[in-house]
Amino acid sequence: MEGLIEQERYTCAIGALQTVVAIPRAVPILHSGPGCGTMIKGFFERSSGYAGGDTSPCTNFSEREVVFGGTDRLRSIIKNTYKVLDTDLQVVVTGCTAGIVGDDVASVTDEFYDEGKPIVHVETSGFKSNNYVSHSAVVNAIIEQYVSRFESENPPRSEKNLVNVFASVPYQDQFWKGNLREFKRLLEGLGFQVNILFGPHSGGVKEWQTIPKANFNVLISPWYGEPIVKNLKRRYGQPYFKFSYLPIGGNETTRFLESLLDYARKHHSELDWKKARAFITEEENAYYEELDNLATFLLEFRYGLPNHVHILHDAGYVAGLTKFLLHETGIVPKEQFVVDNTPKNIRSRWKRISNQPQINAIFPCISIRMQVHCRIFCAESGTAARDSSSAADGIRSLQKKRTAIFSPSPARRLTASCSQRIMSDTPAVCA
């Protein structure tokens, strides 16, 4: 059945309560039916955090609240939350029932806001969007209703080397903690001060309060999170650097860091540029030493390894993994399945029709092709096939042999037998 998605890789808008859970000592308060929290807990396993999962307070919306409204119940739950849980920030998220009934959640939270309580409300009715979209809504609500309180203490763009990083959606990306930790390490290695905002390596709500001070923002995402940096640009005049896929491997990580340095120079960051370049070189050397060791294994056992790969992931991972597997291991990508319900205006950036060999990028109900230029090194002659027909013959030859062929370069970088270049004005979304 066309349009039917089985075992979808995302959930409804209220799934963004995990965005709150990822902030140290923050608690989501669910103004919803009892099933919403249970559903999210089941969808995101091992994701309770400080006050998520069964700990999250919930109004347990019932027939009574549907008829008479649930604001009194919400007010009571918020009061009890302050008595029972020791938290630094409370974020009220709403379910479908509250959205349909039309409860005035803002009026309830404003009562506590006027008392100086750190409380935020955000509309996350499940029928309005998914958790990729509502992640941005939650972050923007915190900025508008909580961070704004501390603007006088944190003048906009007052720290030239401070950046805010927005990357993986917490818990939606199973590797979000490791990704954010590594981004923080790499950027600090360049000399930046980094607000990572989520996870155990962030500074909690104190770090959120300093968001306005950042010189600019860093967005590592094809589309989710972009409303956040656009809001910060409007509110504080902060520009943003966008890298539209996850940089995996030496090639793309170097590209990401060098592009970021160029952007920082244009926006008058006060870094030690020589030291920053030296850090990139040091990280490259460490990475390629490990890759050289891996090359020995791959060359010895190449006949037992797959020579093609299919990837099912969100747009950022599909592009990042495709680049890494092709350029640095020689595994040739075939159909790539993008399963994050990518907005149509972003999908259009993937459309690159050509007579060259192509890789299918498949979205739900949509199959489009990305343009690829392949350079196939023939094992027998060592020559390169450069035109489309001979390149296709080379690919068919690899398919028959089921092998990944490598050509180590003098610079000690492992070069895959097939190098791919996507024709795009926006390299951030292409594989």
Measuring CA to CA, which residue among 19, 110, 93 is closest to residue 59?
A: 93
Model pLDDT for residues 49-75, shown as the tens digit of each residue: 777 777 889 998 888 888 787 899 999
Give domain status of residue 287, yes or no: no
Q: Where residue 260 sits, what CATH number does that domain have? A: 3.40.50.1980
Q: Is the pLDDT of residue 115 over 50?
A: yes
Is the pLDDT reported for residue 221 higher than 80?
yes
Q: How much is the pLDDT for 93?
A: 95
Instruction: Judge whether residue 379 has pLDDT over 80.
Output: no
pLDDT value at residue 75: 94
| In the chain, % of residues over pLDDT 70 | 78
Mean pLDDT on 7-18: 85
Is residue 289, in this structure, part of any structural domain at all?
Answer: no
How is residue 429 written in tokens? 């979304």
Distance CA 408, CA 27 (A): 51
Identify the band that residue 144 occupies on the pLDDT scale cut at 50, 70 and 90. Answer: very high
> E-assigned strands of 55-210?
89-94, 119-122, 159-166, 193-195
pLDDT value at residue 353:
33
Pairing status of strand 414-416 against strand 366-371: unpaired
Say what the pLDDT of residue 7 is. 63
Q: What pLDDT is recorded for position 349? A: 67
Which of 156 and 128 is assigned the larger pLDDT?
156
User: Looking at the structure, do residues 258 and 204 belong to the same domain, yes or no?
Assistant: yes
Give the pair of three-digit tokens for residue 13. 């808008």
Q: Is 103 found in the same domain as 18?
A: yes
Of 76-85, 107-116, 322-331, give the lowest mean pLDDT range. 322-331
pLDDT band (50, 70, 90) for residue 363: low
Closest among 155, 152, 80, 69 to 112, alpha carbons compared = 80
Average pLDDT of the chain is: 80
Which residue segment(s) compose the domain that 422 sits in?
301-429
Please list the residues that pair with 375 across neighbouring strands: 419
- Scanning the structure block, which residue is given the tokens 């793309």? 252
The answer to whether position 151 is within a domain reads no
149, 128 Cβ separation under 8 angstroms: no
202/181 Cα distance (integer angstroms): 9
314 inside domain: yes
Top-ranked range on mean pLDDT: pick from 97-111, 149-163, 357-371: 149-163
Give domain status of residue 296, yes or no: no
Percent of the chain with pLDDT over 90: 52
Q: Is residue 290 part of a domain?
A: no
Statement: residue 4 has pLDDT above 60 = no
Closest CA to 431 of 341, 326, 329, 287: 326
270/168 same-domain check: yes
Within-domain flag for 295: no
Are both 175 and 273 inside the same structural domain? yes
For residue 17, tell me if it sits in a domain: yes
Domains contained in the chain, number: 3
**Over residues 278-282, mean pLDDT:** 97
* Per-residue pLDDT at 373 exceeds 50: no
Q: Can you give the pLDDT at residue 61?
A: 86
